[in-house]
Structure 1
Amino acid sequence: MKVLFAASECYPFLKTGGLGDVAYALPKALRKIGVDVRVIMPKYSDINYDFKSKMKHITHFDVWVGWRRQYCGIEYLEYDGVPFYFVDNEYYFKRPGAYGYYDDGERFSYFSRAILEAISHLDFKPDILHLNDWHTAVSAVLLKHHYWQSDFHKNLKTVLTIHNLKFQGVFGREVLGDLLGLDDGYFAEDKMKYYNAVSFMKGGIIYSDKVTTVSPTYTEEVKTPFYGEGLHGLLAGISYKFTGILNGVDYDVYNPATDRSIYVKYDINSIENKKKNKLSLQRELNLEVNENIPMIGIVSRLTDQKGFDLVANVIEEILRQDVQLVVLGTGQYVYEDLFRYYASIYPSKVSANICFNDGLARKIYAASDMFLMPSLFEPCGIGQLLALRYGSVPIVRETGGLKDTVKPYNQFTGEGWGFSFRNYNSHEMLNIIKYAVSVYRNNKNAWYHLIKHGMERDNSWNNSAKLYKGLYEGI
């Protein structure tokens, strides 16, 4: 089976979020079980020169973007056993970063059309085109409209994975003809019309053969008005082709036994070495050096979606528990300033690192006793999976993938590997943090088993890759 995996970003070339991790790790895991997966993504200017210098130009052709005819080069590179194709167009991609430009609609209309056009020019003929989020979703529409008579495309099936429904690629009605070469008939409720605009994601959902999200719970949540972002009715009506498959973690990349970024390596048989990481991080961040003070880690975008309004409401009460709070991330200024302020008045208790640093993130996973994720919604979440991998006990809200991957501690049976709260409420979160701190301080044996149970979990891509393979075979 041959699969072309289309994504707007991919580690290690360019990554802004969880999609970048998935686009690297899932194809790698699928290839290990016999699926010939190749990845196609834009050739961004921010891709490291070491990678660019090794790319091989294999073909070029023109791509129609509405009435525009644009150049498209295809570069090839194999990395970590996975073949990658890079779509080369300097007009669209020779600029910093990946997203946030006034012409993103045009840029990713071009990319979506280039993916399909490339299939006619490559020596690789996929059976499945796996699309990811709005940036590639419209390829499913273009395939049915422009390529239905093409010998290269007529048997091609499509899968669309929704990583975050909040971002849909919504543009004005005029993009149908101006960018996509589609007639006005697509401005209809059963096609791409989204209120008085056009949704690339909606088009992908309707025209793809299968649709997935990144956790079973999120699949059910998006069928409701609160989570469905205006598409809940549509998603509730496509249960016959709609499913949820959890993301995983690349256990080769994230492994405390081999991780060179952390202070002291350890595994499930040497959990006591976590304390050495904690003491070292306390020294590096100028916190009070004391192995008995519970350390709560946060590695996240600092936004409303991630639940930081809950934290803001009770941060004083959290710090009264005699804990340390280590924060890494960027986001809304209100939360960046919140953590900077508390780090300035409680320098021995709070460390605010308003940036992103992968090495420091790994140190926080390895050093922290608890990892806080109080998200308003979370399609899957990778932070809690990395925390479990590194033996940091997650404290999460029961939503999306957080609910699917964190089993709450049961003091009577000893089961579980984390703590969770159900309602989106600051004091409910505070109470569960207090409970976790109480278990940490008063029941060392239970805490040891919480860490051990979490590290024993297999959150690698192995199981998910098998489910995706089964999905492909069932189309």
Structure 2
Amino acid sequence: MHVLMVAAENDALPNAKVGGVADVLRDCPKALVEQGLTVDVVIPDYGFSALERIQLGTVEVPFAGSIHSVQVWQVYVGQQQVRQIVLSHSLFSQHNGDVYCNDDGDRPFATDATKFALFNASVCEALLQGVITRPDVLHLHDWHSACVAVLLKFDQRFASFSSLRTVYTVHNIALQGIRPFKGDDSSLEAWFPSLSYNGELLCDPRYPHCFNPMRSAINLVDKIHLVSPSYAQEVLQASQPHNGYFGGEGLEQDLKQASAKNKLVGILNGCEYNTDKQLASSQLSDLYAAIDQALFAWMAKEVNLQSSYYIAHQRLLKFSTQPMSGPLVTSVGRLTDQKALLLRQPYQNQQVLDQLCQKLAEQQGRMIILGSGDPLLENTFTAAMARNSNLLFLKGYGNNVGDLLYELGDLFLMPSSFEPCGISQMLAMRAGQPCLVHQVGGLKDTIADLENGFSFSGDTLQMQSEALLNCFEKALTLRQEQPNQWQQIVSNAKAARFTWSQVATDYLSKLYN
């Protein structure tokens, strides 16, 4: 069986990772190859000219009223179990090699939507002309590849692909790539002016005059994949953000219909368990040295010294010179409301994060949070660091720092408001660090309370905040007063396995066949 995966990210290639989808595109194809499949992965060429490559061909792509020449390359990285393909056009690499350009709120997704629409049209053209080999299964990932499904369905030039089996993975339903149908140079009719389409299948339920790529793919493909069984159930319900519930984000009715037709499948993502990649016998001094190096690297990028870096460096000096006798609580992830909504909730005239730091201080413990993202949240966490002498917030991302936090932490904090699958909790568990999580999505499917970690839930934001604080206190108390039970939880966390080989088996039986 031959599978072609189409995506925006792929961590098998340098600097082509922003989120967890890149890990999936790096690891899952290798597991499928080990099951005997042939797998090709295609993404835009964001600037991979330094990689060894051969040109497979050039395709002339009708797009936005003109013909665009797009080069198709096979690139070579490491062991070539999976064929890595990139498509080259100036539109794909114009943002200094960045995967996304993050337009402002006036025209959300506008630049990226046009870029990925051309990429999708180029994939279809390459398939039609045989420059990319026709697969048995076409596997699309997130909204960035959804126009492939639209073109194969509604453009008569691709009628020969009507029987091709198509699969669509939803990695993050909160990002749907919504654009107008017309009246904008970044709109469906501007990209494909001669396309005859069924607007009822493609429109956004909340904004009927807008094209919703994610909804389109959900309605057009053969199978829809959500990246954990629990999340596949959660998206069937409408979101209630005021109560802290995040479900289908407007697509719940389409997903319910798909579920009724047995088109919807929940399969948990996997994690690599290659022991060569895992650190061993590191010390806190190694962590502090890595943080020091990362902070100086981040500071060097700015002309003016940011308060977040100054306070963090002062806190690091304190941490590194004063011995720690209590637990180290860690957290690694992008700073978005998905990850941090509960931490910034008000609670007894403070924020939940302040309350956590105070409970931790009672046991002479410290908390280190690594991540960046929403500028308002970055400011919120910087202010919390200034208020709490046992909190170190690192505004940025450093691979080595993250790896050391996974290895050296005593308790990993991941109170996400929604989590389609999650990889951070798997990485922490792999290193033997129990996790404290909100019982949602993939966190619910990987963490069992008092078995291999700690979990909480609640029906409102207030109840969730209180449950988080109670769960945190329970975990700290158990570690202090019941060391044998704590060590059993640590052992169970480290022994847990969520393998890509199992994912590949499930893909074959539930998605591809």
Whole-angstrom distance in 2 between the partners of 1:149 and 1:429:
52
Answer whether contact 2:46 2:99 (CA < 8 A) is retained. Answer: yes
Q: Summarize the alignment of residues 370-385 of structure 1 with structure 2, pairs less than 5 Å apart.
A: 370-385=411-426
Q: Is residue 2:504 matched to residue 1:470?
A: no
SS of residue in 2 equivalent to 1:70: strand
Q: Counterparts in 2 of 1:39-438, with a 5 A limit?
A: 39-45=41-47, 47=48, 52-79=50-77, 80=79, 81-96=81-96, 97-99=98-100, 100-101=102-103, 102-119=110-127, 120-122=129-131, 124-146=133-155, 151=160, 153-174=161-182, 175-181=187-193, 183=195, 185-188=197-200, 190-194=201-205, 195=207, 196-226=209-239, 227-239=247-259, 240-252=262-274, 255=275, 258-259=277-278, 262=279, 265=280, 273=281, 276-278=282-284, 280-281=286-287, 285-286=316-317, 287=319, 290=323, 292-311=325-344, 313-321=351-359, 322=361, 323-347=365-389, 349-409=390-450, 416-423=451-458, 424=461, 425-438=464-477
Q: Is the 8 Å Cα contact of residues 202 and 213 (structure 2) preserved in structure 1?
A: no
Identity percentage of aligned residues: 29
Deviation at 1:345, TM superposition (A): 4.7
Give me the TM-score of the superposition, normalised by structure 2: 0.82
CA shift for structure 1 position 147: 5.2
SS at match of 1:139: helix
In structure 1, distance between residues paired with 2:70 and 2:452: 49
Q: Report the CA distance shift for 1:305/1:149 in structure 2 as closer, same or farther (over 3 A).
A: closer
State the alpha-carbon separation in 2 of the partners of residues 94 and 173 from structure 1. Answer: 25
Task: Give the whole-Å Cα distance in 2 for the aligned partners of 1:148 and 1:472.
Answer: 27
Q: CA deviation at 1:78?
A: 3.4
Q: What does the per-residue CA deviation read over 1:336-362, in whole Å, with 9 as the maximum and x for residues that have no partner?
A: 123323434545x22211001111110
Residue in 1 that maps onto 2:294: none
3-state SS of paired residue (2:343): helix
In the alignment, the residues of structure 1 paired with residue 405 and residue 117 of structure 2 have an alpha-carbon distance, to the nearest angstrom, of 39
- Return closer, same or farther for 1:311/1:389 CA change in 2, 3 Å cut-off: farther
Of residues 35, 38, 42, the one that matches 1:36 is 38
The corresponding residue for 2:106 is: none
Kindly state the Cα deviation for residue 35 of structure 1 after the two structures are TM-superposed: 1.1
Contact map agreement 1:371 1:392 (CA 8 A) in 2: yes
C-alpha deviation, 1:451, in angstroms: 1.2
CA pair 368-16 structure 1, distance change in 2 beyond 3 A: same
Is contact 1:35–1:469 with CA below 8 Å preserved after alignment?
Answer: no
**Cα distance in 2, alignment partners of residues 393 and 362 from structure 1:** 15
Bigger drift between 387-396 and 314-323 goes to: 314-323
1:459: how far off?
Answer: 1.5
CA distance in 2, matches of 1:123, 1:20: 21
Q: Which moved more, 1:14-23 or 1:302-311?
A: 302-311
Gaps of 5+ in 2: 104-109, 240-246, 292-315, 346-350
User: How far apart, in 2, do the equivalents of 1:90 and 1:387 lie?
Assistant: 39
Q: Letter of the 1:243 partner, please give it.
A: V
Counterpart code for 1:368: G
Distance 1:435 1:290, change over 3 A: farther
SS at match of 2:92: helix
Q: Deviations over 1:134-173 (max 9, x none)?
A: 000121121122257655x344211000001111110011
Residue 193 (structure 1) shift: 4.5
Shift of residue 282 of structure 1? 5.2
Partners of 1:210 and 1:36 lie apart in 2 by: 20
Alpha-carbon distance in structure 2 between the residues aligned to 1:39 and 1:335: 35
> Does the CA contact (< 8 Å) of 1:277 and 1:366 recur in 2?
no
Count how many residue pairs are aligned between Structure 1 and Structure 2: 445
Q: CA deviation at 1:300?
A: 1.1
How much has 1:297 moved relative to structure 2?
A: 0.7
1:258: Cα distance to partner?
Answer: 4.1
The corresponding residue for 2:494 is 455
Secondary structure in 2 aligned to 1:20? Answer: helix
The whole-number CA distance in structure 1 between the counterparts of 2:91 and 2:437 is: 43
1:114-138, Cα deviation, whole Å (9 max, x unpaired): 1111123336220111000000012
Q: Which amino acid aligns with 1:69?
A: I
